Structure 1
Amino acid sequence: MTRADAIDRARKHFQSGEFLKILDRRVGYRTESQQPNSGEALRAYLVEELTPAFTALGFTTRLIEAPSGKGPYLLADYREDASLPTVLTYGHGDVVDGMEGEWRDNLDPWRTTTRGERVYGRGTADNKGQHSINMSALRVVREARGGKLGFNAKFLIETGEEIGSPDLRRVCDGLREELKADLFLASDGPRLSADRPTIFLGCRGGLRIHLDVNLREGGHHSGNWGGVLANAATVLSNAIACLVNEKGQMQFEALKPPRISNAIRSVLADVKVEPTADEPALSPNWGEEGLSPAERLYAWNTLEVLAMSAGNIASPANAIPGEAHAVLQLRFVVGTKIEQAIDAVRERLHANGFPMVEVSGAQAFAASRTDFDSPWINWAAESIQKTTGKRPAILPNFGGSLPNDVFSEGLGLPTIWVPHSYPGCSQHAPNEHILLPVTEEALTIMAGLFWDLGEKGARRA
């Protein structure tokens, strides 16, 4: 059998309806890790659904309990020959809340429903659909090679990604020997666009910044006290304006990243951020000046206001609020001095006359990416182009966040992410879906990558 045979098997696996049947079964597990009663479903997904699937592929499996007592992990291990290359891949079986009753046409989030080119269901995009694509690709390559892969493979599935992967680093540290590999290759997040295959090398980090203004208890009549009492909401609004202006541009250097390197500018030069008709249009004149939309998304930092509160917006009283609160989020790339961020914000506000604003940080996650000189980048790009005839977009990191640092820094692996979703997939919202054409193409991409990894192994042997 040949590479073309493996890719043809991937297409037939999709066109026969077999892949969607598998995905429907996996979506049916209500693995909402944010819900306190989800433990049974999380465990069942790993034990009842994935363990038999990996066993059929020749993997040995082991369930690993989380140190915190939260959702367990599944480690699947396939060893063919110590002289062959080893790939570590990853996925997560947990999903966000199903949000029943909020989906279009009252669709059931725990079943897949196909409407046109969309397949709806919770987890179709994030992440059951994506790790299922990779598992199916392993299967067709193994079949095409007569029961062998041509490489060694390890697959780690967690069930706590949607609550911040609280145990992932400790688990990986404890499995350091078992997780040794030549390459980390996994799938999560969206492509640049539905029609362009994408590789990203890491992720932006994130830090939530809480701003709290507590001037006095309760509100006071705006007629009797207006003009002589400080308004907490006004103070907070102006404090935020010291950090980020009306065009979304950060107002002080401490939160900005290092200069964008020529290497990053080069790979982003042909990356166009072009929303589809059902996605929001880009805002004109928004964000850092002098940067392309791609550079703003994938190579720069942004400070966003996530939420604000003062008074009662549903039933406002004629009163000056005594307190106001806001939650901001800094999305940041590698090289940002994140350890100094909270102190820098506090100093900035104090220097501009806002010592009454309390500043605190929460929910931080790291930025990370593979070095651009890694030979695995060109290897993956050439494989994808050979399969699809399309030059993939190569992103230094994607705009959101993933626990990539656990693998790139913690385990010291080159990390390559090949996403199978697209920006308009509605992950984390009602109507989550995947696209049929993207899913079929993704199956062929991964079959090509796994086949080519086996060819690499043959040359090494």
Structure 2
Amino acid sequence: MTTELSRKDAVRAAAASGIPVALADLGALVRIPSIAFPGFDPGAVAQSAEAVAELVRGLDLFDSVEIRNAVIADTGEAGQPAVLATRAARNGRPTILLYAHHDVQPVGDESLWESPPFEPTLRQGRLYGRGAADDKAGIMAHVAALRALKQALGNDFDLGVVLFFEGEEEAGSRSFAQFLSDNAEALRADVIVVADSGNWDATTPALTVSLRGNTRFTLKVRTLEHASHSGMFGGAVPDAMLATVKMLSTLWDDDGAVAVPGLSERDAETPTYSEETLRDEAGLPEGVSPIGRGSILSRIWNKPSITITGIDAPSVANASNTLTPEVTVVISARVAPGQPAREAYAAVEAHLRANAPFGAQLEFVDQDYGDAFLVDTSGWAVAAARDALHEGYGVEPVDIGVGGSIPFIADLVREFPGAQILVTGVEDPHAKAHSPNESLHLDTFRNAVASEALLLEALDSRA
């Protein structure tokens, strides 16, 4: 009879032996440019979904493996393809839902990449490529952990497993809520693992227990009916750029802290985190000061932030002596845990309207909302996850907050209120997700796979 210790040892050994194949499979996924944003080839996302589905079918563990779409409620359009696989629990064991996403961010300025973004490249213990960390590594961590469980325990374990690999997370998960509703019974689980976050550092695992919310919108600023000569009318006629710059500057105070009435902060202690570490992890050079007030991690985890992420205005190449009639900007606000995203959006809109200079005309369009998330850390699944992370990494895990947002978690909470949600990840602070030269730290990946495999074994042993 297999003892608990020998089961764990077998799982750990299987997880370690499976890493080379998992990394090769990850490389194949990275080669697919599965960008779900409008204007990019949707065929690549479909190709990615099929490649992921083939990996899942190859496990030979599931009762059903399908590629499914849902409808985007606001527009009636079909969402991007997701992979859904189900395996029923037996003998009173729990069911675990493993989530990750197979779509990726656009590459941005390709000249900033040291190697081609869709050609997986190994350098100094890291695998480089778009999606190598966020979040195709999350998919492969799930797949590799299941391979290890099967190799160690055979195909007749009792744990119920659901896989949900989304195809549009980076593009806003617009069909996510409808997908949950359409597939609620198939997705129902006792424990949900969202592998789309990070770790304290490359060697210290983390469980994400808080996430900021977000609201994103497009703002059009108009001051003129048409462009006019800046020499003929400049000094008397406000152009849209002048109005936009003056108005946007009111969003922050002199310290760079958000200065919008109605945006709240969360009062919670944070671990020690030095300015030196911030400079190293964020790429902040000497001479450029951090912004905000309070502890550094409180600014990132527990306070709002506002970023201008895009602007349409005359380019430098097309600059002329002209008063610009209209400027369009995209504004992204991160919302402190505890404040609804729509409430935060209303506060930002009210502030901008109140501070629009010279009677500038404002139009707000394309609003997106994602609520913040706080984990209930008292559940048995959190304790099991902490134990598995400790065993897999050999280091005690840290509970962290994350300044980023995973808006769909609010949908999971609403649809499955009884499920315990665990937010984990394979990224370290130098992964550069969403940036040029995104990469995966290979040792972190090895430890993440071992930890998840050990968590699966522990849940399969749970009476």
Q: Please, what TM-score do these two structures have when normalized by structure 1? A: 0.86
* Whole-angstrom distance in 1 between the partners of 2:344 and 2:363: 10
Q: Deviations over 1:124-178 (max 9, x none)?
A: 1122122111211121122222334452111111222232222121111122122
Structure 2 CA distance for partners of 1:335 and 1:233, relative to 1, 3 Å = same
Assess if the C-alpha contact under 8 Å between 1:368 and 1:408 holds in 2.
no
* Alignment match, 2:101: 92
How far is 1:55 from its partner?
Answer: 4.8
How far is 1:317 from its partner?
Answer: 3.0
Amino acid at match of 2:406: S
SS at match of 1:254: coil
* Alignment match, 2:431: 425
332-341 or 113-122: which moved more?
332-341
* Alignment match, 1:269: 271
Determine whether 1:83 maps to 2:86: no
Aligned counterpart in structure 2 of residue 339 of structure 1, from 331, 338, 342: 342
Amino acid at match of 1:18: V
Assess if the C-alpha contact under 8 Å between 1:213 and 1:324 holds in 2.
yes
Determine whether 1:292 maps to 2:295: yes
* Whole-angstrom distance in 2 between the partners of 1:48 and 1:241: 46
Q: Deviations over 1:184-228 (max 9, x none)?
A: 112113323323211113532221244433111344444443432
Determine whether 1:247 maps to 2:255: yes
SS at match of 1:441: helix
Assess if the C-alpha contact under 8 Å between 1:73 and 1:159 holds in 2.
yes
* Whole-angstrom distance in 2 between the partners of 1:30 and 1:210: 26
How far is 1:82 from its partner?
Answer: 4.8
Assess if the C-alpha contact under 8 Å between 1:219 and 1:321 holds in 2.
yes
* Alignment match, 1:120: 128
* Alignment match, 1:147: 155
Counterparts of 1:123-272 in structure 2, within 5 Å, are 123-201=131-209, 203-257=211-265, 259-260=266-267, 264-265=268-269, 268-270=270-272
93-102 or 181-190: which moved more?
93-102
Assess if the C-alpha contact under 8 Å between 2:221 and 2:328 holds in 1.
yes
Assess if the C-alpha contact under 8 Å between 1:27 and 1:122 holds in 2.
yes
SS at match of 1:255: coil
* Whole-angstrom distance in 1 between the partners of 2:108 and 2:252: 33
How far is 1:81 from its partner?
Answer: 0.6
* Alignment match, 1:378: 383
SS at match of 1:156: strand
* Alignment match, 2:362: 358
* Alignment match, 1:407: 412
Identity of aligned residues (%): 21
Amino acid at match of 2:105: V
Determine whether 1:29 maps to 2:35: no
Assess if the C-alpha contact under 8 Å between 1:200 and 1:397 holds in 2.
yes
SS at match of 1:364: strand
The Cα RMSD (Å) is: 2.9
Assess if the C-alpha contact under 8 Å between 2:240 and 2:327 holds in 1.
yes
Assess if the C-alpha contact under 8 Å between 1:346 and 1:359 holds in 2.
no
* Alignment match, 1:301: 304
Structure 2 CA distance for partners of 1:201 and 1:82, relative to 1, 3 Å = farther
Structure 2 CA distance for partners of 1:9 and 1:209, relative to 1, 3 Å = same
Determine whether 1:324 maps to 2:332: no
Structure 2 CA distance for partners of 1:149 and 1:245, relative to 1, 3 Å = farther
Structure 2 CA distance for partners of 1:151 and 1:398, relative to 1, 3 Å = farther
* Alignment match, 2:316: 313
Assess if the C-alpha contact under 8 Å between 1:369 and 1:397 holds in 2.
no
Aligned counterpart in structure 2 of residue 368 of structure 1, from 360, 366, 373: 373
* Whole-angstrom distance in 1 between the partners of 2:354 and 2:38: 43
Q: Deviations over 1:400-431 (max 9, x none)?
A: 33521221222222211111012332333443
Assess if the C-alpha contact under 8 Å between 2:311 and 2:328 holds in 1.
yes
Structure 2 CA distance for partners of 1:219 and 1:82, relative to 1, 3 Å = same
SS at match of 1:160: coil
* Whole-angstrom distance in 1 between the partners of 2:311 and 2:48: 38
* Runs of 4+, deviation exceeding 6 Å: none
* Alignment match, 1:440: 446
* Whole-angstrom distance in 2 between the partners of 1:427 and 1:285: 21
* Alignment match, 1:4: 9
* Whole-angstrom distance in 2 between the partners of 1:330 and 1:439: 31
How far is 1:253 from its partner?
Answer: 2.8
Consecutive unaligned residues in structure 1, runs of 5 or more? none
Amino acid at match of 1:198: A
Amino acid at match of 2:420: P
210-219 or 272-281: which moved more?
272-281
Assess if the C-alpha contact under 8 Å between 2:215 and 2:342 holds in 1.
no
Structure 2 CA distance for partners of 1:270 and 1:383, relative to 1, 3 Å = farther
Structure 2 CA distance for partners of 1:366 and 1:82, relative to 1, 3 Å = farther
